[in-house]
A and B are shown apart, each in its own frame.
Chain A
Amino acid sequence: MKLTVNGTAHEVDAPPDMPLLWVLRDLIGLTGTKFGCGMAQCGACTVHLDGTPMRSCITPAAAAADRSVTTIEGLSADGSHPVQRAWAELDVVQCGYCQSGQIMSAVALLAANAKPSDADIDAALSGNLCRCGTYQRIRAAVHRAAELSKA
């Protein structure tokens, strides 16, 4: 099957029901997208499919064929995406394991809503668990990213 990930075309040999998460991680070698629950409960595996955030752990790879997949690695070459800059500025990360998913969800939120309220952020990001409890900084960083995106 053919997959376009971060603008690069890949031909992968995967059973059609294999979740996109494992195709990305184990077949293509992009390990920035994380496994946390495998049942759409934690958001660690969030990627964009044609710009829409998806939980790749329950998305069959076949559903991504001929569509454009964006992972954390595709956001910027150097961490310069406004969301990443905001994350760095506010020292959001702790263990870091959930953060690819958090950032991908935040990017999708800001693409749809340039100036989200706290309630918007709660609604968009409550599907992304963080056991380190970086939530307060995530909220602040989403607001900051909205400012940075404007500039």
Chain B
Amino acid sequence: MNDLSNASRRRFLKAGAAVVGGGLVIAFTVPLAKRFAGGGEAAPAAPAAAPAANAFLRVGSDDSVTVLIAHSEMGQGIWTALPMLIAEELDADWSRVRVEHAPAAPVYAHTVFGMQMTGGSSSTWSEFERYRQAGATARALLVQAAAKQWGVNPADCRVENGIVSSGSHSARFGELAEAANALPAPDKVALKEPKDWKLIGKATKRLDTPEKITGRATFGMDVKFDGLLTAVVARPPVFGGTVKSYDAAKAKAVPGVRSVVQVPSGIAVVADHFWAARQGREALSVEWDLGPNAALDTAALQAEFQRLADTPGLAAAKAGDPAQAMKQAARQLQADYSVPYLAHAPMEPLNATVRIGPDRCEIWAGTQFQTLDQMVAAQITGLKPEQVQIHTTFLGGGFGRRATPTSDFVSEAVHVAKAAGQPVKTVWTREDDVRGGYYRPAYLHRVHIGVDDKGLPLAWQHAVVGQSILVGTPMEPMMVKDGVDATSVEGVVDSPYLKGIGAHRVEIHSPKTGIPVLWWRSVGHSHTAFVMEGLVDELALAAKQDPVEYRRALLKDHPRHLGVLNLAAEKAGWATPPPKGRARGVAVHESFGSIIAQVAEVSAQDGRIRVHRVTCAVDCGIAVNPIGIAAQMESGVAFGLGAALHSRLDFREGRVQQSNFHDYVVLRLDEMPQVDVHIVPSTEKPGGVGEPGTPPVAPAVANAVAALTGKRLRELPLRLA
């Protein structure tokens, strides 16, 4: 998801208002409802109570505090950050906090985007009020219950570590839960002053570690119950292809194969287990109608992008008269920057498990888009959305791939279960995943900059060519304005550099190619930071200025940018020369409400770029969980660095050329630099942290390579030789 401007946030809110649930009610359920934890042989039971109980937390008679998370845990640590917000206000005993994924229900709709989802690095900031309110409300009820029991004034009660006390009285939360449950929730509760926070801002370890280091954690892939079959689907080798005919005889002869069924996306082989299904698919013969994209070719696409870049596009930003201003320029710079299509390749291949009954459809999936999945499944099964129950499992990585506006992998699994007439887990192989589309689109940026005699930009013309992610999706009305997809140009049109240039123009071309595209960790920023920070570095070097100094001058009216820039430079030892044979590069970029500067220290040997260190300074506003923030920065760097150094997808004769991790190369441990994270203390409202660590790394590395070798690399992945 992109970084929404306030205006589009409001549009989103309005569009989503019908879906957003009513006021906040805290349900206290005693005893704890048994949660689906997987691993059992029997089918997991449905929760006894309707999920619409508006429950964000439950206090159990055993003193446990169970927090229901409206977002999906995909590694970003939301299972820890949101409980921290609740426990802070509740003054809970942290060791008694338990976490569950919330079911799919309107009450769990995103407070800004209006549907239940995880994306846009928004989970913490969008829940910062709601989850604290939930905690404070529960606390008030527990205090009221205690005060009533003891005949004291609630104002004379204290709460600490899961115990309410007043004078000589004291009671554990569990002892008060039932009485508290019977009380009406207060209309308004006061939240703590930041100075009184004990948990927010404290380095707090993850709550999901125990199950993730023992193999107990249930990912979508691990869902099992009696009678569950597994399917793999043969899909067309070219996007937009369809089945002409197929012969299932050999597939059906594979031991363990139960049925072969046609679904809209292809032919599903349904079997007792994955291996049989996969063997069955190998044996299947399908004749495809390849459709309109059978000639898709990377070189041809690039040529077409090049051609488009020289034609007039739609204006995405404009100020002054750049053509006129260009005439005053002392020097000019013209440059093309480009990035390839990329797969997300989350570690857990896509999958979803579906069981359809006469009046209910159950889905187990690691999804980022519960509300859409629910709607799409309802359509396919002819049920009402509320009859579609979604059990969100842990996600073995998401990075945007598990947030498809078309619900692609979930809807396919519903089709398979429906056609098979049995509960089925549809599993993608890695090859299916790499070749399955929904990629970060390739982009070409063609930029023409004029600078004054001091080397400062005075005219900036910028063409962006690349597929729109949002056109044709349910989000289009909210986020595509006058044909301009905000996600294609974020990071350019709102760049602080551009704002300082009186004459600028950004134009956009959104060609249609037939390749399904999607947000990929940091969305538009995944290419725009590379372009903007590369260009500014080029300008600095052309002006014979230090890249940090040069940026300081351009960012003088942006104190938060300056703050991270200075901190990263200081911590990286920018003022002192790097070790022999190495060079440093810097980048600073804002995305998802946070500003990050990174300094990369690199060397090169035999044409191979090695990144030794990345010093990362982050200003994400109030830092809710510093360990989690550091982890996300490290993670963002690793993810961005794999793409900066290696990853690319190519097309020939309509086919994706890469297929698995041997040719779709991502970062491995031996290439992981030392990442030092420094958090700027801040009282600003929280920003995102899941994505913003990714954009600056590619330009920081490219800039370091330029400093090291004098070669300016303007294409990802970076290639020296």
- The reply on A38 being an interface residue by CB < 8 A is yes
Question: Which of the segments B9-17, B82-90, B209-217 contacts the partner chain?
Answer: B209-217
- B206 touching A131 by the CB < 8 A rule? no
Q: Mark B360-382, 1 if CB is under 8 A from A, else 0.
A: 00000000000000000000000
A79 touches B213 (CB 8 A): yes
Does B275 contact A73, Cβ atoms closer than 8 Å? no
B669 touches A126 (CB 8 A): yes
Question: Given A35-B274, A131-B397, A136-B672, A41–B215 Cβ distance below 8 Å?
Answer: no
Query: How far does the alpha carbon of A32 sit from the alpha carbon of B222 in the complex, in Å?
Result: 8
Among A18, A36, A75, A138, which residue has its beta carbon within 8 angstroms of that of B349? A36
Select which of A19, A27, A96, A129 is within 8 A of B666 by beta carbon.
A129
- CB nearest to B218 among chain A residues: A31
Interface bits A121-136 vs B (CB < 8 Å: 1, else 0)? 1110111111111111
Number of residue pairs A-B, CB distance < 8 angstroms: 185
Q: A79-B213, A84-B213 are in contact. Are A136 and B347 (CB under 8 A)?
A: no
| CB within 8 Å of A: which B333-359 residues | 345-349
SS class of chain B's interface: helix, strand, loop or mixed?
A: loop
5-64 of chain A: CB within 8 A of chain B: 15, 18-19, 22, 25-27, 29-39, 41-42, 44
Given contacts A32-B215, A36-B348, A95-B346, contact A136 B634 (CB under 8 A): yes
Given contacts A41-B662, A79-B213, A131-B639, contact A94 B672 (CB under 8 A): no
Complex Cα gap A32–B667 (Å)? 24
Chief secondary structure at chain A's binding surface:
loop
Q: Taking the nearest CB of chain A, how far is it from the CB of B475, in angstroms?
A: 25
Chain A residues whose CB sits within 8 angstroms of the CB of B215 once the complex forms = 30-33, 71-73, 100
Chain A residues in 8 Å Cβ range of B635: 94, 132-134
Within B36-76, which residues are at the interface with A (CB < 8 Å)?
A: 38-39, 41, 73-76
Smallest distance from the beta carbon of A112 to chain B beta carbons, Å?
17
Q: Is the CB of B214 within 8 A of A84?
A: yes
Most A-side CB within 10 Å, residue of B74, B217, B347, B674: B347
* Nearest B-chain residue to A39, judged by Cβ: B660
Q: Which residue of A lies closest to B674 (CB)?
A: A136
A27-B273, A135-B638 known; A88 vs B210 contact (CB < 8 Å): yes
Cα distance A139–B669 in the bound complex, in angstroms: 8
Contacts of B188 in A (CB 8 A): none
Size of chain A's interface in residues, with CB distance under 8 A?
A: 60
- Which bracket fits the contact residues of B? 35 or more
Residues of A close to B398: CB separation below 8 A? 95
B429 engages A34 (CB within 8 Å): no
**Residue on B nearest A94 in the bound complex, by CB:** B75
Q: Looking at the assembled complex, report how far the CB atom of A45 sits from the nearest CB atom of chain B, in whole angstroms.
A: 11
Q: How distant is the Cα of A18 from the Cα of B254 in the complex, in angstroms?
A: 12
**Given contact pairs A72-B215, A95-B346, A126 touches B670 in the complex (Cβ within 8 A):** yes
**How close is B430's CB to chain A, nearest CB, in angstroms?**
5
Q: Nearest Cβ in chain B — how far from A77, in angstroms? A: 9
Is the CB of A91 closer than 8 A to any CB of chain B? yes
Partner of B661, one of A78, A94, A129, A136: A129
Q: Is the CB of A130 within 8 A of B347?
A: yes
CB-CB under 8 A from A129, the residues of chain B are 347, 661, 666, 668
Once the chains are docked, how many angstroms separate the CA of A139 from the CA of B668? Answer: 12
Asked if B348 and A34 make an inter-chain contact with CB atoms under 8 angstroms apart, the answer reads: yes
Question: Quick one: which of B615-642 are within 8 Å of A by CB?
Answer: 627, 631, 634-639
Question: 24 interchain pairs (CB within 8 A)?
Answer: A18-B275, A22-B273, A25-B222, A29-B224, A31-B221, A35-B274, A36-B347, A71-B215, A78-B214, A84-B213, A91-B206, A92-B209, A93-B213, A95-B398, A99-B212, A103-B213, A122-B670, A123-B670, A131-B347, A132-B75, A132-B638, A136-B634, A136-B674, A139-B672
The 7 closest A-B pairs by CB, nearest first: A32-B215, A133-B638, A97-B396, A95-B75, A96-B212, A94-B75, A26-B273
Interface residues of A (CB under 8 A from B): 15, 18-19, 22, 25-27, 29-39, 41-42, 44, 71-73, 75-76, 78-79, 84, 87-88, 91-100, 103, 121-123, 125-139
Query: Other CB < 8 Å A-B pairs besides A41-B661, A125-B669, A134-B635, 20 of them?
Result: A26-B272, A31-B218, A31-B222, A36-B348, A36-B349, A38-B429, A42-B347, A79-B213, A84-B214, A91-B631, A93-B75, A97-B219, A97-B394, A121-B669, A122-B670, A126-B669, A127-B668, A129-B661, A132-B75, A137-B634
